[in-house]
Amino acid sequence: MSDTTQPAGIQQSAAPATSAGAPKIIGGARFVVTFFLANAGMYAIFQGMQQIVLPTQIAAIDPSGKVAAYGILASIGAAAAAIGNPVFGALSDRTRSRFGRRAPWLLISAIVALVLLAILGGMTSLFWLAAAYLLVMVTMSAFQAVITAVMPDRVPAQRRGFVSAIASFALAVGVIYGLNVAPVFIATPVLAYLLIGALLIVGTLLLVFLAPDPTAKLDAEQNVAERQSIRHFFTALRDHDFAWAFWSRATIMIGYWTVSTYQLYTLTDYIGAKNLPGGNAATAVALLGTINLAVSVVASLVSGPLSDRLGRRKVFVIVASFGIAAGALIPAIWPTWTGMLAYSVVVGLFFGVYMAVDQAIMTLVLPDPENTARDLGLLNVATTGPQIAGPFLAALVILLTGGYAPLFIFTAVAAALAAFFIAPIRKVR
């Protein structure tokens, strides 16, 4: 399905309609499928690495200091990603090549990430483990910044709920893949990382070569944008709607990361390994993740297109935020394996709604169509930035209170605040 429409995130002209009157997605079905696979590969690495393989490596190196060590490493990696997202996004906005703005960055970052993952798997000291992990996170921040900008490049505003739901579905599939591959090969970290990273390579290659970057043609007709100062780099945060969207996502994500980064240790130290299926914490993490994301997939595939049809986005995010808050309280009140299963179902349901619609909102509050990837990179900081504070907060709470229940209470409060922060946005109904 070919299309000569200018990218929606680059020019604000309306996309041409099909015979049925629906606006076209540039690249059609091939883009949707390959975009899905590339996103799934990204999330497989983030979650398979951070929830299972990395904490297992740390625990093997420093069993007594694993909580503090993991908190420090996770925060270092998140800091690198928080800086890298807007920087690499801005660089891709200004890239000009025969392959377009995004394709070179996607391909190079995917290949480099796979090589670095193999190196990470072979590390046996905390220092070199941290160094390799830092490089992986920098590289993956480049991929994340660019893949996020692909949506507004190709998808008209009226279809972004649908494509946002596809991205949410990709998150679910990628996490399920990463969480289920990792435990099987946990004894050989190099192989585990390579198998997790393989999905990223396959998805990226298919996206780049089967659904060519439409900015290649656009860039052939335009001059390179002028360089901007650091002062202009953050101008999007002065925009009313952009700022509220940023803080809404940052709030809910900081709660999410305080719990998810310590899920393996939560199961072993809070629920108790003897209370888990088969007494295996890594397998239990995979099972919870699979249940959570299976529910999330159904919710996202319904809510994303429904938000397109209704022409409303904020109400979905507000309801989802309160739903996540309610679900997060379950393990605090009911600290059992059954309680964790209930938590996974409830939070998965509402997080699916949240992710399907929130990403569409993010693309609709962008103030500058010439700096799409840069500004989406800033919004991605609202996801990666909380990863910096989240592990520190989690470690601090665990060490000071001697328990894990306060982490779930913190998540509930943060999710509820996110609902209030999304309400003032004016551009989106």
Look at residue 202 and tell me if it is in a domain: yes
Look at residue 413 and tell me if it is in a domain: yes
Look at residue 221 and tell me if it is in a domain: no
Q: Is the pLDDT of residue 401 over 50?
A: yes
CATH of residue 74: 1.20.1250.20
Of the listed ranges 71-85, 212-226, 280-294, the least confidently predicted one is: 212-226
Cα–Cα separations (whole angstroms), residue 39 to 63, 144, 174? 33, 9, 7
Strand partners, 23: 17
127 or 1, greater pLDDT: 127
At residue 50, the pLDDT reads 80
Rg (CA), the chain: 21
Of the listed ranges 91-95, 110-114, 349-353, the least confidently predicted one is: 91-95
Q: Is the pLDDT of residue 3 over 60?
A: no
Q: Is the pLDDT of residue 329 over 90?
A: yes
Q: What is the mean pLDDT of residues 16-33?
A: 68
Query: What's the mean pLDDT when you consider all of the chain?
Result: 81
- C-alpha 193/C-alpha 185 separation (Å) is 9
Of the listed ranges 19-23, 198-202, 362-366, 418-422, the least confidently predicted one is: 19-23
DSSP state of 316: H
Look at residue 251 and tell me if it is in a domain: yes
At residue 12, the pLDDT reads 37
Of the listed ranges 18-32, 127-141, 254-268, 348-362, the least confidently predicted one is: 18-32
Look at residue 21 and tell me if it is in a domain: no
Q: Which domain holds residue 317?
A: 28-215+235-422
| pLDDT grade for 23, boundaries at 50, 70 and 90 | low
Look at residue 195 and tell me if it is in a domain: yes
The total number of structural domains in the chain stands at 1
Look at residue 225 and tell me if it is in a domain: no
Look at residue 397 and tell me if it is in a domain: yes
Read off φ and ψ for residue 23, nearest 5 degrees. Answer: -65, 145
